Structure 1
Amino acid sequence: MTDVFDHAAELEQQERERALNEQARRANLTGKTLADSAEFCDDCGDNIPLKRRKAMPGFVRCISCQSRQERRGKR
């Protein structure tokens, strides 16, 4: 039973760190350039289209993963 709780605590810590990193990244979006954008999604590894990287410099997720992340945050 302890293993389940340890695993849950570890997942919670990882999600907390991701959320904090995301918030820090959003706070620093001003002045970002195309070079600051990820070419591949941090979550799924798919290519992030150049059009998206140009439109929103600094993103590290593809549209699908970013949308999923934002929906998760609204729960």
Structure 2
Amino acid sequence: MAKGFGSEDAAQDEIEGAVNDAVRRAQDALPHGESLTHCEDCDSVIPEGRRKALPGVRLCVECQQAHDQARTHPSAYNRRGSKDSQLR
């Protein structure tokens, strides 16, 4: 039976590594420590419910949404895998 360039274990290790890296980046992006009472961007009051639900919060909801939208970037990986998508 013919084999490809790498073993199935190597492919699985690569997938697990990519997933673990993504999880680590997401965990690092979560706030930690003491929550602020006022947004560090616009100085509006951060509601107590938000501070309790998300320890370490530093931004109000509006500023956090703007921050999240600015931080999103396209993935470097082509997950569709079709030849058509690779040619674009």
- Shorter-chain TM-score tier: 0.5 to 0.7
Residue aligning to 1:68: 66
- Max Rg structure: 2
SS of residue in 2 equivalent to 1:71: helix
Residue aligning to 1:47: 45
TM-score by length of 1: 0.54
Amino acid at match of 1:74: T
Amino acid at match of 1:45: D
Residue aligning to 1:17: none
- 4+ residue runs over 3 A deviation: 23-26
Q: How many residues align?
A: 47
Structure 1 residue 74: deviation in Å?
Answer: 1.2
TM-score by length of 2: 0.47
Amino acid at match of 1:66: Q
Distance in 1, matches of 2:36 and 2:68, equals: 18
Counterparts of 1:7-46 in structure 2, within 5 Å, are: 26=30, 29=32, 32=33, 36-46=34-44
Amino acid at match of 2:38: F
Distance of aligned partners of 1:71 and 1:25 in 2 relative to their CA distance in 1, 3 Å threshold:
closer
